[in-house]
């Protein structure tokens, strides 16, 4: 999964990601402190944009437009957001949305588009609908009239400059088609972090692909960052990952989650020969699409030693319960609490849903698949049939 925002056209096509949530401070790595120093001034995102529609604009997570961080009124093209610069602030990839009555295909919503000066050369113009928002804030200027270039200028600190340099180039992604290139790639990442030890963007890039690093590689990279970056929300998440990470040869933990009656259940049944864990959400289209195939698996194998459990990542429990009434799935249904999200997402390496994990009776992984396709469901059925023989 790429950390970097795709070009503007891809963002307008509505590609979203499952975002990871920040939680408590991990204890594995010895660090100076788990409490970042509070900044004296608020984080300000200000814009002076000609021909911007009067009304409200919204500062959101670039990967999740439903996560509105702040809103502001536009007056004569001017707007400003102010965020508290305290220990709760986590630098992130941001977008600014605004209503446009002519944009019917996208529900009357547009993104402010920014020129990527780093990747634009001559007649080649690169643009993005996102910027990396750090403690420095951001200042946006330009003109949205058709006669203009259509792209705005943004100044948002050194991390946004790094984001523009690396947009769509994959910083932090260690896996390559040629394994012989891995050492050189890792060495280059280390050298870049040494040049920019205060970069939250670089740490986030590494954290996005953390499953493909060894613990030692992650520890070595992490140690190169400045203390204020290590103790940020991104750093706390990574340290928690060290604690909860499941090594390839280790079984999954039998986590306890609540069902529709608020009764706690272990997600693995040690009396079953095989366990099938189904990670889904009511709002996830492919998750709902695969349910008929899951019902077929349940009918075929439930009485022969297969235990199925669906695990919802829904934040809105009401929507989850409504989906359960509509889908009528006959196997156990549980939902993770908000304080369990990071533990579950990290232990099971949930980068996107749906995810199906087939294990033996003690939690050793037999098969894992992400996304929905008929071919993969057929492969899962074969794996279950072989495991129950």
What's the mean pLDDT in 44-48? 96
Tell me what percent of the chain is helix, strand and coil, each rounded to the nearest 5: 30, 25, 40
Q: In CATH, what is the architecture of 256-387? A: 3-Layer(aba) Sandwich (3.40)
Return the SS3 of 4. coil
Of the given ranges (14-18, 69-73, 235-239, 272-276), which has the lowest mean pLDDT? 14-18
- pLDDT at position 338: 78
Q: Which two structure tokens, joined as six digits, stand for 55? A: 């009304």
> pLDDT tens digit string along 60-103?
999 887 889 999 999 999 999 999 887 778 899 999 998 866 55
CB distance 373 to 381 below 8 Å: no
- pLDDT at position 4: 35
Burial 221-254 (b: 16+ CB within 10 A, else e): bbebbeebbbbbbbbbbbbbbbeebbeeeeebbe
Residue 236 to residues 14, 35, 63, 243, Cα–Cα distance (Å): 30, 10, 20, 11
> pLDDT tens digit string along 215-250?
889 999 999 999 999 998 889 888 888 777 766 677
Read off the pTM. Answer: 0.62
Break the chain into its structural domains and give their ranges.
8-166, 179-244, 256-387
What's the mean pLDDT in 334-360? 83
What's the mean pLDDT in 325-342? 87
Residue 68 to residues 49, 65, 129, Cα–Cα distance (Å): 21, 7, 15
Residue 361 to residues 250, 267, 273, 358, Cα–Cα distance (Å): 13, 11, 5, 10
Q: At residue 24, does pLDDT exceed 80? A: no
CB distance 197 to 226 below 8 Å: yes
C-alpha span between 76 and 70 (Å, rounded): 19
Q: Which two structure tokens, joined as six digits, stand for 364? A: 């050793």
Return the SS3 of 366. strand
What's the mean pLDDT in 189-197? 97
Return the SS3 of 93. strand
Calculate the average pLDDT of the chain.
Answer: 82
C-alpha span between 86 and 331 (Å, rounded): 44
- Find, among 197, 80, 83, 62, the residue nearest to 131 by Cα: 62
Position 143 confidence tier, pLDDT thresholds 50, 70, 90: very high
């Amino acid at each position: 999964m790429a950390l970097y925002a795709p070009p503007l056209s891809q963002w307008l096509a509505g590609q979203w990601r499952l975002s990871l949530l920040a939680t408590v401070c991990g204890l594995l790595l010895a660090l100076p402190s788990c409490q970042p120093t509070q900044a004296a001034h608020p984080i300000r995102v200000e814009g002076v944009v000609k021909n911007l529609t009067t009304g409200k604009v919204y500062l959101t997570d670039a990967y999740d437009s439903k996560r509105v961080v702040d809103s502001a009124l536009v007056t004569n093209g001017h707007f400003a957001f102010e965020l508290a610069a305290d220990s709760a602030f986590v630098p992130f990839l941001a977008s600014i949305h605004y209503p446009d009555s002519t944009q019917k295909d996208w529900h009357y919503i547009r993104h402010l588009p920014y020129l990527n000066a780093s990747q634009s050369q001559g007649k080649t113009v690169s643009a993005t609908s996102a910027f990396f928002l750090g403690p420095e804030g951001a200042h946006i200027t330009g003109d949205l009239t058709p006669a203009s270039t259509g792209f705005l200028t943004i100044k948002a600190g050194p991390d946004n400059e790094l984001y523009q340099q690396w947009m769509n180039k994959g910083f932090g992604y260690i896996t390559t088609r040629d394994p012989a290139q891995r050492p050189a790639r890792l060495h280059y990442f280390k050298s870049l972090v040494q040049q920019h030890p205060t970069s939250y963007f670089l740490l986030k890039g590494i954290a996005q692909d953390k499953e493909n690093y060894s613990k030692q590689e992650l520890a070595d990279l992490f140690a190169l960052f400045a203390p204020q970056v290590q103790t940020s929300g991104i750093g706390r998440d990574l340290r928690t990952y060290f604690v909860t990470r499941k090594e390839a040869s280790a079984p999954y933990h039998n986590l306890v989650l609540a069902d529709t009656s608020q009764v706690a259940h272990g997600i693995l049944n040690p009396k079953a020969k095989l366990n099938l864990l189904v990670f889904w959400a009511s709002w996830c289209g492919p998750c709902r699409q695969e349910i008929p195939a899951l019902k077929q698996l349940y009918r075929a194998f439930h009485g022969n030693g297969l235990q199925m459990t669906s695990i919802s990542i829904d934040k809105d429990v009401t929507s989850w319960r409504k989906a359960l009434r509509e889908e009528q799935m006959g196997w156990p249904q549980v939902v993770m609490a908000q304080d369990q999200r990071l533990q579950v997402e990290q232990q099971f390496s949930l980068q996107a849903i749906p995810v199906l994990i087939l294990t033996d009776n003690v939690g050793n992984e037999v098969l894992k698949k992400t996304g929905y396709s008929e071919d993969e469901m057929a492969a899962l059925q074969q794996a279950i049939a072989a495991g129950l023989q």
